[in-house]
Structure 1
Amino acid sequence: MVVDWRETNSGTDGVRTFNRGHHVLHLAWGRATRLLICPDTALLMATLDRLFATGNVEAHASPITG
């Protein structure tokens, strides 16, 4: 199953932002067994760069893995 999505929100700097992308969901016997989230990474990086420039150091933190 693939779902296209759009979102709007306010960053920690109060600026209204938006993004779009896809969720790819794998179903087995009526249960979600895998979820792949594919945002527009160019829009995401622009938001994170802007937040970092205003002092939000977590905007450039290392990815959470594991």
Structure 2
Amino acid sequence: MNTQQLTRHALAMRLQLQHDNDRLRDALQIIAEIAATSSDPKSMPNIGRIARAALVGATPANPTLARETT
């Protein structure tokens, strides 16, 4: 791998991590809102579903760039 390929790979990884962090932050915000506003014990399964969905790998922020680095 040359320097340009390494740079593109690092950029793709950085963009993917930033994208994942944004998704996780949004999920945590939703979970916090549910926990703060709901006293219904049935809200726990919803929190679990949101957490699981947030942890599942998402599509890359820029699929073209990620595909070029593999």
Give the TM-score, by structure 2 length: 0.28
Structure with a larger share of its residues in helix: 2
Rg comparison, structure with higher value:
2
